[in-house]
């Protein structure tokens, strides 16, 4: 029920996803009187869908604490997450209130043993291939241990989605030199350097332009910087697209040139379309939760559902657990001082 175009965009997106992956099944949590008529519009979707009525819907502007008090046990958002906890669903997807979704997911599913805080991972298109960037806003001001946790989680996600046995990991910093950056980043870098080779390869520090280049498979940062980087990239993509459309309509010759280059321009448009990589993955919980962009349409929801399918198929949670057991990086990270302890020392 969350998002600007719900529930129609959600139902339509599920219909599009089902056409590509026939063995998908859906449980829709929300107001039944709004969902049932939409399912009638998509006859192929109805037989593989359940509708579970929920009177309570979390508003987009509610604070996480308020949403948790209001919706625990009764809201469509909570019931969706609880379906994953109860093994009725493999993945929960919502386009609703991000803070509320994170609070409910953390409360209901609980963080995995050894993970201090969950993070939000995004699939990011680059010049080389898709990569993973995290955290996208779950934790503001992560300490060294949390950054190491994100490296573990991000490398496990890369193994699951990209079939890479040793993904490269980089820490986002203001420079590549070891002396630069906050103490938390430098401390995390030391731990990852020692653990490099145990299922992942630590590249070192990376800068902002390395994200678009695809220098590494996993870029690790804290949520404040990660969220700004994501929003900046989305805004830049829209800006470039607007410039391009204006240039192609500037005069008759531009329009003729655009006609001849239509196939290339269409490919560029698809590559720059943020709907094709829609979905932030809540990493570090005992279950998979995906946050869809609230303003997306059915194409964006189809992309989020495709991501969910692949994560379930590749048994992401098992890979995260295996990563934490195999890699010595986690035990080393747990001995790191917190940011507060480091500053007081």
DSSP type of residue 338: P
Confidence of residue 265 (pLDDT cuts 50, 70, 90): low
Q: Residue 119 CB: number of other CB atoms within 10 A?
A: 30
Architecture of the structural domain at 119-274+310-345: 3-Layer(aba) Sandwich (3.40)
Measured torsion, CA atoms of residues 283, 289, 294, 298, in degrees rounded to the nearest 10: 120
DSSP for 37-88, written as a single string: HHHHT-TTTGGGEEEEE-SB---TT--HHHHHHHHTTTBHHHHHHHHHHTTS
CB burial of residue 88 (10 Å; 0-12, 13-18, 19+) = exposed
Higher pLDDT, 296 or 240: 296
Buried b (16+ CB within 10 A) or exposed e, 311-332: bbeeebbebbbebbeebebbeb
pLDDT value at 135 more than 80: yes
- Read off the tokens for 57: 């819907």
Alpha carbons 24 and 49: distance in angstroms, whole number: 9
- Express each pLDDT in 17-41 by its tens digit: 999 999 999 999 999 999 999 999 9
Look at residue 259 in the predicted model and tell me its pLDDT. 77
- Express each pLDDT in 82-133 by its tens digit: 999 999 999 999 999 999 999 999 999 999 888 878 899 998 888 888 899 9
| H/E segment holding residue 272 | helix 262-272
| This prediction's pTM | 0.84
Measured torsion, CA atoms of residues 20, 22, 27, 28, in degrees rounded to the nearest 10: 40
Mean pLDDT for the stretch of residues 153-159: 88
Mark out the alpha helices in 141-249 (DSSP H runs): 144-162, 183-195, 208-213, 223-248
Question: What is the number of alpha carbons within 13 Å of residue 259 lying toward its C-beta?
Answer: 6
Domain locations along the chain: 1-109, 119-274+310-345
- Read off the tokens for 33: 């009187």
CA 325 distance to own-chain centroid: 23
- Residue 290 DSSP SS3: strand
- Express each pLDDT in 36-83 by its tens digit: 999 999 999 999 999 999 989 999 889 988 889 888 889 999 999 999
- The answer for residues whose C-beta is within 8 angstroms of residue 307's C-beta and 6 or more apart is 123, 278, 279, 281, 290
Confidence of residue 337 (pLDDT cuts 50, 70, 90): very low
Instruction: Evaluate whether 77 touches 55 at the Cβ level (below 8 Å).
Output: no
Alpha carbons 321 and 311: distance in angstroms, whole number: 14
pLDDT value at 217 more than 90: yes
Alpha carbons 117 and 111: distance in angstroms, whole number: 7
């Amino acid at each position: 029920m969350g998002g600007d175009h719900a529930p129609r965009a959600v139902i339509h997106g599920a219909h599009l996803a089902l056409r590509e992956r026939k063995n998908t099944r859906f449980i829709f949590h929300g107001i039944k009187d709004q969902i049932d008529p939409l399912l009638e519009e998509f006859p192929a979707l109805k037989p593989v869908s359940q509708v579970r009525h929920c009177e309570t819907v979390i508003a987009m502007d509610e604070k996480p604490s308020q949403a948790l008090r209001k919706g625990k046990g009764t809201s469509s958002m909570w019931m969706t997450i609880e379906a994953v906890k109860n093994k009725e669903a493999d993945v929960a997807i919502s386009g609703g209130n991000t803070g509320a979704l994170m609070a409910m997911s953390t409360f209901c599913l609980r963080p995995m043993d050894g993970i201090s805080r969950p993070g939000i991972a995004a699939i990011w298109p680059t010049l080389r291939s898709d990569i993973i960037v995290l955290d996208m806003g779950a934790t503001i001001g992560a300490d060294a241990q949390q950054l190491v946790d994100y490296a573990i989680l991000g490398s496990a996600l890369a193994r699951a989605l990209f079939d890479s046995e040793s993904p490269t990991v980089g820490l986002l910093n203001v420079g590549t030199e070891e002396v630069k950056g906050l103490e938390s980043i430098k401390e995390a870098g030391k731990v990852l350097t020692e653990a490099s080779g145990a299922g992942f390869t630590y590249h070192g520090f990376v800068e902002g332009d390395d994200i678009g280049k695809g220098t590494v498979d996993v870029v690790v940062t804290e949520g404040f910087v990660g969220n700004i980087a994501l929003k900046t990239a989305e805004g830049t993509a829209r800006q470039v697209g607007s410039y391009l459309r204006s240039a192609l309509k500037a005069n008759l010759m531009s329009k003729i040139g655009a006609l001849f280059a239509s196939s290339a321009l269409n490919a560029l448009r698809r590559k720059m379309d943020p709907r094709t990589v829609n979905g932030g993955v809540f990493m570090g919980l005992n279950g998979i939760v995906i946050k869809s962009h609230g303003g997306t349409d059915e194409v964006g929801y189809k992309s989020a559902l495709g991501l969910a399918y692949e994560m379930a198929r590749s048994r992401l949670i098992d890979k995260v657990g295996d990563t934490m057991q195999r890699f010595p990086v986690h035990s080393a990270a747990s001995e790191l001082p917190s940011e507060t302890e480091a500053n007081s020392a």
